[in-house]
Chains A and B, each alone.
Chain A
């Protein structure tokens, strides 16, 4: 019995110590800096102030960037669901495990390989000197290269490509977890395959849609490497602006405050999305 009771509480100590010192404290320091005054020489002053927050929350220029970032995140998430669902269904139905492994590799590559490489691949295709522009110019349809990427739609496209795999994997996992006897029961009770799909498969896959949505939304909200590479300086999102505050104008307190707002926004949206889903999924929750 002692084996069952044995709790290696000591195992938590090195993890808490390491993450406490090298993760929690730095995060706390960055958030705290958001409440300190900007100092042109030491960057982060000593005076406590709400000025950074007030500045971002009262200036329409900054609020606009927040709204744009939210819109991009909503579009990327919605498009990811639409794109991911048929793929997840298809993966769920592929009989050969070899084919499935190969298809899953195709889907996983954009998130596993560096985001720099993922974004760069799109520059080769849609960039100013990219494949599409060259093809259009060669056929005489275009005289000068078009800016296909450095606009919000380009950022949205590449972000979908970068984050949709998370949606595919979450929905696919939910589909795999569905109890087959439910489908059989539906068939026995006279449901056509189509009816069984809409009344069993889709509702039972919603938890996967939820976890995928939470993940893709948070990632899109926080993405900055892809928008910077794809958007050039034409597309402003909150994380890109934070990066510019950090390494462009060296306003670290400003960056801290904006990162604080981003964190609140990210966790707030997470909470709201789960709330909406759980209200709809109350029946599912009782089942588990």
Chain B
């Protein structure tokens, strides 16, 4: 008996149409970045890598890229530490305190970003944090839930007998944590951190509120330039972001399972 009955052709056709429509905008963006014309064109006329070269001469784009990379690195690192600690706590805690902790730590996922951004703008502007430091702090906040979920999913699926064995053999709780628990959740920390890096690098909704003209992340620079007649070098940057994000997603083992833990 076939476990999965064959799909009806209608469903397959619908799915194929959706795949095609989903890849189309990404394809168009990458293709348009090769145009020889001075304005964005699809289908592209001719083929040139000139616009990728233009990025190198574009101070604002280069600064944005460097800033985004640095902030994403800091945010992913800090969120890995905080997220792992949070997961360790959640795996063992119970009762009201667990509920409270969970709603605080996961709130960045459920509160509208426009409110989070406004909140950062109001407090950070009075603290003089509308700069790279403020951006990094804001990004840590939105990244913590991702690492926490990623690590927690491994802790919950993990074997509880190993830490118990360590304890029976006389290891102190801290030794057990460092030598048994942490190594076992390392894959969760790594994939959570990579995911956090992607989220931070690509974020625009929070960054818009905390950016200043001198400290604008790459997505904010792109946002500010879309209003003007977009020049093909912006398309080239967008194409680079699409390609980089795809490569990282492909490199992430089981991107789907990870995505599922993040947004399930």
Contacts and interface: CB of A to CB of B under 8 A. Distances in A.
A45 to B, nearest CB: 13
A101 B101 CA distance: 35
B122 A222 contact: no
Q: Is the contact region of chain B dominated by helix, strand, or loop, or is it mixed? A: helix
Contact of B5 (A103, A197, A263): A197
Contacts of B12: 90
Contact of B118 (A103, A113, A255): A255
A262 B163 contact: no
A30 B82 contact: no
A109 B264 CA distance: 17
B40 A124 contact: yes
A92 B223 CA distance: 36
A208 to B, nearest CB: 9
Interface residues of B, number: 98
A267 B88 CA distance: 28
Nearest to B198: A112
Contacts of B86: 11-12, 15
A139 interface: no
Contacts of A256: 118, 122
Contact of B7 (A23, A93, A134): A93
B156 interface: no
A14 B201 CA distance: 24
Nearest to A2: B167
A136 B7 CA distance: 37
Interface in B132-148: 137-138, 140-141, 144
Nearest to B195: A112
B39 interface: yes
B238 A121 contact: yes
Interface residues of A, number: 95
A6 interface: yes
A87 to B, nearest CB: 5
Interface in B188-221: 198, 201-205, 208-209, 218-219
A2 B166 CA distance: 10
Interface of A: 1-4, 6-9, 11-12, 14-16, 18-20, 22-27, 29-31, 33, 44, 83, 86-87, 89-93, 101, 103-110, 112-125, 129-131, 134, 161, 166, 169-170, 172-173, 180, 183-184, 187, 193, 196-197, 211, 215, 218, 221-222, 224-225, 229, 239, 242-243, 246, 252, 255-256, 259, 262-263, 266-267
The 9 closest A-B pairs by CB, nearest first: A222-B112, A3-B167, A121-B25, A90-B15, A26-B119, A193-B5, A114-B202, A30-B119, A86-B14
26 contacts: A2-B173, A3-B176, A16-B104, A18-B144, A19-B82, A19-B105, A23-B141, A29-B119, A30-B119, A86-B11, A101-B256, A103-B19, A108-B249, A110-B26, A112-B249, A116-B226, A117-B219, A117-B222, A117-B242, A124-B29, A131-B43, A224-B205, A229-B223, A255-B118, A262-B112, A266-B112
